[in-house]
Amino acid sequence: MKDKPKSEFTGVIHGGQHLDPSYGGVSVPIYQSSTFAFKNAAQGAARFAGKEKGYIYTRIGNPTISALENSVAFLENGYGGMATSSGMSALTTILIAFLDKNSHMIGTEAVYGPSRMVVESELSRFGIEYDYIDTSDIKNIEAHLRPNTRLLFLETPANPTIILSDIRACADLAKKKGIPLVVDNTFSSPVLQKPLDLGADVVMHSLTKFLNGHSDVVGGIIVPKTEELFKRLRKVLTLMGGTMDPHQAWLVLRGIKTLALRVEKSQENAIKLAQFLENHPQVKWVNYPGLPSHPQHDLAKKQMKGFGSMLCFGLQGGYDAGRKMIDAVKLCTLAVSLGGVESLIQHPASMTHAGVPKEKREKAGISDDLIRISVGCEGYEDLKDDLEQALAQTA
Ligand code: LCS
């Protein structure tokens, strides 16, 4: 399918896909081959010169991986996709493609811990300068721009605070300054938010999360808006080698077919759970973009098609009570990661964001009492009963 369908339910199944040309397989075959034979020397040379279409070597391209790349590029309205071995590999490919020695980047401070750690502790060794700041305030971004700023990186909603950044406003600013805007869209998925349509230049995902949806694959993807950006990023990815494996691609492609269904069910659960938690006497605060109490509820309504299924909260009894609660859940699983059919609960300060120093965490709003839930597709009543019994044990 090339034309845009009316519904995301159609796009996730057919977008960018065509029947297998060999045998008409309805499901894309797994081309588990590292290399592809040439008919003769002339064909091999023509493929390397880019004069003939076709596959050469799986690090450079593979039919199963292409099917996944076409699917996500279609959903994100991008020029093309580049699947990577992990979400971190998508990010590092982007960073290396855009940043030079002595260049500067601005990033959302409440990002997934390793997303800033890779810059702060590794790329800084190569002379790259950075500011991880509150990107929900456009004036704050303007104040941190430097003559050598070469990248604006947003994670919205942010992991784990669920704070939003205004993609359209950031895109306008980035355009004015000639800086590429990259958005990590992992927490929304393209079903709920399309950053490229809001003016971003590149969108990335950890495919490990909602797109795959079954907690059984690690993967990532990069989708730029233009051919020029695609060529730059593809060159870096191919040279750095963070490519995906065909079997991994096939599993994610299978997961994407039910993305819209899973997102619909999990966010229906999330809004009800957020309301339940907000009204619970032992809960001190809840952050969920679908609640009118969320500081950016209006922005969420404007830039997202739904509020998603990630939420965080703190208990009256602080982290001691929170730890008792996460030890007491029976249906929710105590595990990091997110976006799967099963509900997961975790404590960012001691788990996903433990590598970020405490003062940086606190400045970013990742308080010690913050508990994060990735709401899954179970029945709402079962999830509510589980949280209710776990909360009762913290009293
Ligand atoms: N971007 C976001 C927003 C993420 O949440 C993660 C992983 C990544 C990038 C990196 O992707 P990966 O390499 O793991 O595929 N977030 C995780 C989390 O919150 N818990 O465990 C992993």
- pLDDT tens readout for residues 221-236: 999 999 999 999 999 9
Number of domains, the chain: 2
What is the mean pLDDT of the segment spanning 108-135?
Answer: 97
Write down which residue in 211, 226, 256 finishes a domain.
256
Same domain for 207 and 302, yes or no, is: no
Of the candidates 191, 186, 190, the residue with the CA atom closest to the CA atom of residue 153: 186
Residues 197 and 76 in one domain: yes
Name the domain boundary from 256, 284, 315.
256
Half-sphere exposure of 180 (CA within 13 A, CB side): 21
DSSP 3-state of 151: strand
Residue 50 lies in a domain: no
Phi and psi, residue 84, nearest 5° = -130, 165
Q: In this structure, which residue's CA is closest to atom 20 in ligand 1?
A: 337
Find the helix packing angle between 380-392 and 318-328, rounded to 10°: 130
Residue range 353-371: mean pLDDT, rounded: 93
Answer whether residue 38 is part of any domain. Answer: no
My answer on whether 247 and 103 are in the same domain is yes
Q: Which atom of ligand 1 is nearest to the CA of 91?
A: 9
Cα(19) to ligand 1 centroid in Å equals 32
Task: Tell me the average pLDDT across 86-105.
Answer: 98
Residues 240 and 281 placed together within one structural domain of the fold: no
Q: Does residue 329 form part of some domain?
A: yes
| Amino acid identity, position 384 | K
Q: Which atom of ligand 1 is nearest to the CA of 208?
A: 15
327: domain CATH number is 3.90.1150.10
Under a CB-based contact definition with an 8 Å cutoff, are residues 207 and 87 in contact?
A: yes
Pair (109, 251) in one structural domain: yes
Can you give the residue range of the structural domain that contains 102? 8-30+61-256
Note whether 170 and 269 are same-domain residues.
no
Q: How far apart are CA 378 and CA 266, in angstroms?
A: 8
Report CA(186)–ligand 1 centroid distance (Å). 8
The pLDDT of residue 2 is above 90: no
Question: Burial, 373: exposed, middle or buried (Cβ in 10 Å; 0-12, 13-18, 19+)?
Answer: buried
Given phi > 0 = left and psi -120 to 50 = alpha, else beta, which region is 156?
Answer: beta
Residue 240 pLDDT greater than 80, yes or no: yes
Beta bridge partners of 312: 287, 372
Tell me if 96 is assigned to some domain: yes
Give the pLDDT confidence of 142-152 residue by residue, as tens digits. 999 999 999 99
User: Same domain for 280 and 222?
Assistant: no
**Domain end residue (candidates: 197, 226, 256):** 256
In this structure, the answer to whether residues 219 and 299 fall within a common structural domain is no
Q: How confident is the prediction for the chain on average, in pLDDT?
A: 96
User: Measured in angstroms, how far is the CA atom of residue 257 from the centroid of ligand 1?
Assistant: 21
User: Model confidence at 214, in pLDDT bands (50, 70, 90)?
Assistant: very high
In a domain? residue 209: yes
